[in-house]
Amino acid sequence: MDAVAHAPPVEHGPSLRQRLAARGFDAVTLLVVPAAIFSLLLFVYPFAFGFVLSFEPKAGGDWLANYRRFFSDAFLYDTIANTLWLAIPVTLVNLLLAIPIAFRVRLMRNQRLLTTLLVLPITLGTVLVAEGLLNYLGPQGWFNRTLMTFGLISQPLKLVHNYWGVFASLVITGFPFTFLLTLSYVTGIDPALEQAAATLGASAWQRFRHVYLPLLMPGLAITFCLSFVQAFSVFPSAVLLGEPAGSTRVISIAAAQAAFEEYDYSMGSAIAMIMGFVQLGIVVAVLASRGLFYRGPASGAKG
Amino acid sequence: MTIALSQFDEVRLDRVSRDFGALNALRDVSLTIRRGEFIALLGPSGCGKSTTLNCIAGLLPVTGGAIWLDKNRVDTLRPEERGFGMVFQNYALFPHLNVRQNIGFGLKMRGRSKSEIDRKVDEALNLVRLQGQENKLPGQLSGGQQQRVAIARAIVIEPPLVLMDEPLSNLDAKLRLEMRAEIRRIHNELGATTIYVTHDQDEALSLADRIVVLRDGVVRQVGAPKELYEAPAHFDVADFMGFRNKLKGRVIAIEGDRTVLDVEGARISGVARERVSVGSTAYAAIRSDDLEVGEAGPNAIAATVDTIEYRGREFVGTAHSAGGLDFVFRSHVPVELGSQVHLRTEDERILVFAEPVQGRQ
């Protein structure tokens, strides 16, 4: 064994910069910094602050006192049910309205005009919509007067300052958002798939049921979550159009009362945390159900 | 093979028209397709071939004329009521369904029993040679496999008519030849009446029993591949059939069945395919395969060689004449770039056409 032992050539591994780049970190990554600072200052810090504050009850007691108080007082814990009872039906109604309209609009030439009209309510803001609805649906409003003029009702219907007033307002302000999201998912599906299904003998309903719906489900789940979160945090319309001491005493009202009427920021924070966890629970449940559906590209072509 | 296609005698297009606003995408297209025939609709893009197919499938309403399946008028039916199988250019496979579910989709929509669906899908999988792939999603298949699924899905419903919209245009060159042979094989096995849209004359020539050449929404010529290849009826059909040399000249004499043109001083005599008169402008069309380097003399025109490509058994070159005509020719011997050559061919290889009317005809 007289093999010459060559010194192994000095191996230069890739530089630090190359190794970072291989993991997706390079100078461009720095562009994340402003957004990170922004979310740290305006979201993470206040959230963490509120989270900690919620465990420091104003009235003293142990660290869970606020939570215990919330879940032992029906006036407080009922707000969860009240809010869900508004937010879930409103979101479902919005979604169920948005799907057929999106299917129709998808085929229209003047999509732009209609989309603009539908987006207007977003720009109006909840307070203006509430004002309008108070006048329109109120006992002396056009709606009741028209019905009475035609003799359809003898007494004005009570449509504001109760559940239905808030419901109507949430549908009006939430629909455009739900619709636009739904429209983008619907138009993202290759129309050739529907044509293929038609040539294979599928009726319009079968095409929706077997082609569109399965491909839309993941998008509809996301739309549901975003619309739900928006409706769940209802505040102005619940106060202006609802019955803030009764059926539409939503969780955000409870939090506002604790914080700004009783000046108990700690309790207010605890309620806000509970609100956050209820939302999170629903959103996680809905998003997890997406795993049951196909989630690849919605096109019949080779990508 | 128990995939049995519905029985009928003929599909008849009777003066079918389709307007898009002011544009006539199709004008008075009449065509009779007999059972078992393989018809290719051939033409450049925008000629109306896909429009014709979509009108037959029911994906586009016709704006004039009628479509008949024997004695039944079908152009008023919705696509799902026509029951024609269609293969789409981008395959249009359902991305959320596996191969088996994709192929069985049409049978399921028809409410067939599970055992019948399973049996027929198995047969279709055998026919397109996709056994073992049935549980994959379309996204996991190669382009050629996706195309096979699309074909299986269209024929498993046993349609009277199979419509194919440029089915090979998304495949690479090698796969295209392979799938072309597959389509021919499947057609031979099933005898399915097929309308096949393509812009590729080779595909049309090799697959079809009859070719329909469309241009600007009008049928220009219908005939067997050999007929179209050897005797195109119009200048534009010739252009599409590979007559790449178009020599503009003036008719100086008509001698029996030969028409003589003066092309930049050269005397070119060929066979007239359209009526021309002495003194009028006409075109001599010559296939690039037929134009060879030769001696000066009759049917020869002087040109300067611009490019020359080695193609294995021969060379293919381009050249231009002093008067600015461009040529594509072949040669068995290498030719120097920039050299002066005489390009020539036989009388019977030259077709003479009248000057085409400009614009839409």
Instruction: Annotate B104-142 with DSSP letters as a single string.
Output: HHHHHHTT--HHHHHHHHHHHHHHTT-TT-TTS-GGGS-
| Band of pLDDT at residue A124, cut at 50, 70 and 90 | confident
Q: A300 and B91 in contact by Cβ < 8 A? A: yes
Q: Where are the beta strands (DSSP E) in B237-296?
A: 245-255, 258-263, 266-272, 281-286, 292-294
Helices (H), chain B: 49-57, 79-82, 99-109, 114-127, 143-155, 173-190, 201-207, 225-230, 235-240
Structural domain contains residue A7: no
Residue A268 resides in a domain: yes
Is there a domain that residue A42 lies in?
A: no
Cα distance from A83 to chain B (closest Cα, Å)?
36
Q: Give CA–CA dist B300/B297, Å, rounded.
A: 6
Summarize pLDDT for B86-112 with one digit per residue, the tens. 999 989 999 999 999 999 999 999 999
The per-residue pLDDT for B360 is: 44
- The residue of chain A with its CA nearest to that of B152 is A200
Whether the CB-CB separation of B54 and B31 falls below 8 Å is answered with no
Band the pLDDT of A280: cuts 50, 70, 90: very high
| Side-chain half-sphere exposure of B304, counting CA atoms within 13 A | 6
The residue of chain B nearest to residue A216, with distances taken between CA atoms, is: B96
Confidence of residue B1 (pLDDT cuts 50, 70, 90): very low
Contact indicator for B38, B208 with CB cutoff of 8 Å: yes
CB contact under 8 A, B90 and A202: no
* Lowest pLDDT segment from A157-161, B1-5, B43-47: B1-5
Amino acid A302: pLDDT: 46
Cβ separation B59–A198 shorter than 8 A: yes
Question: CA–CA separation, A212 vs B186, rounded Å?
Answer: 31
B241 within 8 A of B229, measured Cβ to Cβ: yes
Q: Is residue A205 part of a domain?
A: yes
Name the packing angle between helices A163-187 and A213-232 (round to 10°): 140
What is the separation of C-alpha B233 from the centre of its chain, rounded to a whole number of angstroms?
A: 16
- How far does Cα A26 stand from its chain's mean position? 34
Laid out side by side, the sheet with B162-165 consists of: B85-87, B162-165, B194-198, B38-42, B210-215, B218-223
Q: And the tokens for B281?
A: 């402008």
What homologous superfamily does CATH list for B10-235?
A: P-loop containing nucleotide triphosphate hydrolases (3.40.50.300)
Residue B299 Cα, gap to closest chain A Cα (Å): 50
What mean pLDDT comes out for the span A22-49?
A: 90
Question: Which residue in chain A is spatially nearest to B95 when comparing CA positions?
Answer: A300
**pLDDT above 90 coverage of chain B, percent:** 40
φ/ψ (deg, to 5) at A152? -75, -30
Residues of chain B contacting A, Cβ within 8 Å: 57-59, 78-80, 82-86, 88, 90-96, 105-106, 108-110, 137-139, 143, 146, 153-154, 157, 163, 170
Where do we find the tokens 């296939």? Answer: B287
CATH of residue A88: 1.10.3720.10
Are the C-beta atoms of B48 and B26 separated by less than 8 Å? yes
B212 has pLDDT over 90:
yes
| Residue in B88, B137, B157, B195 to test binding to A, most A beta-carbons within 10 Å | B88
Residue A49 lies in a domain: no
Which of B86, B95, B143 minimises the CB distance to A199?
A: B86
Cα angle: B84, vertex B88, B92; to 5 degrees: 105
Where exactly are the structural domains of chain B? 10-235, 236-354
Which tokens is B329 given? 């020719």
The Cα–Cα gap between A240 and A134 comes to: 8
Q: How far is A197 from chain B (nearest CA, A)?
A: 8
Name the domain count of chain A.
Answer: 1
CB contact under 8 A, A301 and B58: no
Sequence-ordered list of residues with C-beta below 8 angstroms from that of B289, at least 6 positions apart, any chain: B242, B330
User: Considering the domain B236-354, what is its CATH architecture?
Assistant: Beta Barrel (2.40)
ipTM over 0.85: no
Are residues A297 and B109, on separate chains, in Cβ contact within 8 Å?
Answer: no
Within a domain: A271:
yes
CB B60 within 8 A of CB B50: no
- Residue B22 sits at φ, ψ, to 5 deg, of -85, -10
Residue A231, in any domain of the structure: yes
With CA atoms as reference, the chain B residue closest to A303 would be B139
The pLDDT, as a whole number, for residue A11 is 62
CB contact under 8 A, A199 and B154: yes
Q: For the whole model, what pTM was predicted?
A: 0.80
- The pLDDT of residue A303 is 41
Residue A65 pLDDT exceeds 50: yes
CA dist A62 and A55 (Å) reads 8
User: What is the domain range of residue A125?
Assistant: 72-292
Segment A124-139 shows an average pLDDT of 86
Contacts 24+ apart (CB under 8 A), B255-264: B258/B347, B259/B352, B261/B352, B263/B301, B263/B325, B264/B301, B264/B321, B264/B322, B264/B323, B264/B325
DSSP 8-state symbol, B347: G
pLDDT confidence bin for A120, thresholds 50/70/90: confident
* 3-class state of residue B236 by DSSP: helix
Q: How many CB pairs under 8 A join A and B?
A: 99
> Are A131 and A54 within 8 A, CB to CB?
no
* B92 closest CB neighbour out of A203, A293, A300: A300
Residue A239 is inside which H or E element, if any?
helix A236-240
* Facing residue for A302 by CB, picked from B79, B153, B170: B170
Whole-number Å distance between alpha carbons of B52 and B48: 6
- Please give, rounded to a whole number of angstroms, the shortest distance from the CA of B240 to a CA of chain A: 29
Q: State the best of A185, A193, A194, A199 to mutate against chain B, taking most chain B CBs within 10 Å.
A: A199
Domains B10-235 and B236-354 share a fold: no
pLDDT value of residue B4? 56
Residues near A110 by Cβ (< 8 Å), separated by ≥ 6? none
B143-155 vs B114-127: helix crossing angle, rounded to 10: 130
| Chain A residues whose beta carbon lies within 8 Å of the beta carbon of residue B110 | 201
